[in-house]
Chains A and B, each alone.
Chain A
Amino acid sequence: MQQEARLIQGNQAIVEGAIYAGARFYAGYPITPSSEIAEECSRVMPKVGGVYIQMEDEIASIAAVVGASLAGAKAFTATSGPGFSLMQENLGLAVMGEVPCVIINVQRAGPSTGLATRPAQSDVMQIRWGRHGDQAIISLSPSSVKECFTLTVQAFNFAEKFRVPVILAADEIVGHMRENFIAPAPGELEVIDRKRPTGPPDQYKPFVADEDGVAPLAAYGDKYVFHVSSSMHGPDGYSNNSPANATWRVTQLHRKLELHRDEIVLTRSFYTDDDIEVLLVAFGATTRAARAAALEARKNGIKAVVLQLITLWPFPDKEVAALGQNSKMIIVPEMNYAGQVAGEVQKALGSNKDIRRVNKYNGQIITPHDILKVMK
């Protein structure tokens, strides 16, 4: 049955996407501009037999999410920059323990409390490297209300499939934007559940990966008894500090994502051409300005192409290189000072390629005009 079109907010679409994906546990602490996600979850979760719990801070929120996930829930939390910073240590535990979970970071402008109600895209590196120690992680970035829904479903799917925390790098613009939205019918989008163990309980080892690089995960309360640890641990989950074990563990954490790199890395290109005059590499809400700028440039006969980075981490270096090598000019607009994504684009293309950066970090949106100015 075709759903009706509704005018809804990005943050609401995130909640609907999470419920669609099977999320039944939300723990969080309110923070602008993500609070509507908590409010909506508090209303919806008890209706679908799930749990909403407002924890005492963001540290506790991600901890509760990890606990619920190990008890078998598809679990998530939402926050913004300052809260995301607080979550980092326990997010590292989720990486180490290979605990599926989703963290929505509706980015706002910092540093520190910064511009609490204004957008930014300045957590790109924090999302990748904010935790201590070696770790691999996945991050997706929506540019519209529809993508808030679909990428939340995708985030849960990746989290479940690869036993890894997935961070949805939204921003205030998409979080608070309202657009017409038609919810996908049940079954229209794929929903993936984590792989459960099937063998004899006494032989279950929660950290022994199958050929696909991912180990099955039981739930507390199943017939499988298992240990999960923030400390370096062996295949059975018990402490093991040997150098050989540490090498094996850390390699496993990276390997499972490397094996599935091409499945995880999602991009989309607009207005493709064989000979690209201008390549705009954009992500999140800025994709919209980039697309408008490209259309405007095309009116003036400039072959402008937009590459949207849907996956931010692992970084789409191959995809950037494939289009970037054939482009005369490359522009990366992003709402941060240092060009956090532009630096990665540069790495993907090599130092001889000139990357033009469009950076805005005053809480104001990047406009098509801002981008068109640097094409000249």
Chain B
Amino acid sequence: MSYATGLKYLKDGVLPHMWCPGCGNGTVLGALLRAFEELKFKKEETVVVTGIGCWGKADDYVVTNALHTTHGRALAFATGIKAFNSKLNVVVLMGDGDSVTIGGNHFIHAARRNIDLTAIVVNNMNYGMTGGQVSGTTPSDKLTSTTVYGNPEREIDICTLAEVAGANYVARGTPYHGWELQKVITEALTKKGFSVVEVISPCPTHFGRNNKLKPALAMFRWLKEKAIPVEKYNPVTYPREEGYFPIGRLVDRDAPDFNSRYEEIRARAMRS
């Protein structure tokens, strides 16, 4: 098999991209486009839905169908697309703001509904595009431009939230682990039901600079050290309080998705 480049899904003439040096977004986009190629996704049958923020700009680089939406609402737009046309591959690209901060309610309900979407959530633990403010995923005590004395709040664990809310597939990756990331994205794209891939990603411009992780390389070293393959991970050896987190496939189950359930409802309605 030839090595997938994903280039056929990348718009001509858009490189270099607009993301900061050291940002993980380019790597995540590369993994996504290579996964498209690996799965032979047709551009016509694929819709990339994005929210607002750094990762929300990703639609500018793709040549599939796309819908760039309002902040926090990407999953709701995507739900309408998929609910009406179940044949489409609908991929939703969100940051930590879109997915679980402003958009937290939509995230919970997309998972509960188990609608057959793939959410690729780039979590850089702060609001990059607006200047590095605190997010719902900023860890306690971390410094951001709106928590200059430390974050008084606790962070949301996106994968745990997705699991308890009912997602069929949940995985975590990092841009440091590029090949593994592509693998879980490919799995998520083929999985029926709601799939989430959380990518813990560096934001050297804001989060790293504010939290003694300079230069950009320091954030990649931090990912290398703290991200533990789920097969090896246990919370005693790798305590969450010290910043360790498991990567890889965390949840994989087969509850019926929304469209399949709705087909059953239609059949019942026809009989009544």
Task: Tell me if B45 counts as interface (CB < 8 A to partner A).
Answer: yes
Per-residue contact bits, chain A 324-337, to B (CB 8 Å; 1 contact, 0 not) = 00000000000000
Residues from 62 to 83 in B contacting A, C-beta threshold 8 Å: 63-70, 73, 76-83
The reply to whether B83 and A51 contact each other, CB–CB distance below 8 Å, is yes
User: In the complex, are the beta carbons of A49 and B266 less than 8 A apart?
Assistant: yes
- Determine whether the beta carbon of B83 is less than 8 Å from that of A68: yes
Within 8 A of B (CB), among A235-273: 237-239
Q: Are A225 and B65 CB-contacts (below 8 A) given A64-B80, A67-B81, A71-B80?
A: yes
Given A220-B65, A228-B68, A46-B266 contact (CB < 8 Å): yes
Q: Which residues of B contact A70 (CB under 8 A)?
A: 67, 81
On whether A221 and B80 interact (CB within 8 A), knowing A47-B269, A227-B66, the answer reads no
Residues of A in contact with B (beta carbons under 8 Å apart): 24-25, 27, 43, 46-47, 49, 51, 53, 55-57, 59-61, 63-73, 75, 89-90, 93, 97, 219-231, 237-239
| Chain B 123-148 interface 0/1 with A at a Cβ cutoff of 8 Å (1 = within) | 00000000000000000000000000
Chain B residues, Cβ within 8 Å of A222:
44
Q: Does B105 contact A (CB under 8 A)?
A: yes
B109 A220 Cβ-Cβ under 8 A: no
Chain B CB within 10 Å — which of A24, A53, A71 has the most? A71
Query: Complex formed: what's the CA distance from A75 to B266 in Å?
Result: 18
Q: How far is the CB of B39 from chain A (nearest CB, A)?
A: 17
A64-B77, A227-B65, A227-B68 are known contacts; what are 11 more A-B pairs with Cβ within 8 Å? A60-B106, A64-B76, A89-B70, A90-B73, A93-B70, A219-B85, A220-B47, A225-B63, A225-B65, A229-B59, A229-B66
User: B266: which A residues are within 8 A, CB to CB?
Assistant: 46-47, 49
Report the minimum CB–CB distance from B191 to chain A (whole Å).
Answer: 20
The answer for the CA separation of A231 and B71 in the assembled complex, in Å, is 11
Given the interface pairs A51-B262, A55-B109, A238-B60, the reply to whether A63 lies near B76 with Cβ below 8 Å is: yes
The answer to whether A221 touches B85, judged by C-beta atoms less than 8 angstroms apart, is yes
Q: How far is the CA of A55 from the CA of B11 in the complex (A)?
A: 34
Query: Do the beta carbons of B83 and A53 come within 8 Å of each other?
Result: yes
Q: Which residues of B contact A230 (CB under 8 A)?
A: 68-70
Q: How far is the CB of A160 from chain B (nearest CB, A)?
A: 16
How many of B's residues come within 8 Å of A, CB to CB? 40
- What distance in Å separates the Cβ of B102 from its nearest Cβ neighbour in chain A? 10
Question: In the docked arrangement, what's the CA distance between A227 and B64, Å?
Answer: 8
In the assembled complex, the Cα of A140 lies from the Cα of B175 at a distance in Å of: 51
A64 B60 Cβ-Cβ under 8 A: no
Is B44 a contact of A221 with CB atoms below 8 Å? yes
- With the chains together, A68 CA to B88 CA distance in Å? 12
A162 to chain B, nearest CB (A): 20
Task: For the complex, give the distance between the alpha carbons of A89 and B77 in Å.
Answer: 13
- Contacts of A228 on B, CB cut-off 8 Å? 66-68
Chain A, Cβ-Cβ closest to B69: A230
Task: Name which residue of chain A comes closest to B49, CB basis.
Answer: A67
Bound Cα distance from A225 to B109, whole angstroms: 29
A237 to B50, CA, bound (A): 14
Partner of A221, one of B83, B88, B109, B265: B88
Contact of A225 among B44, B68, B108, B270 (CB under 8 A): B44
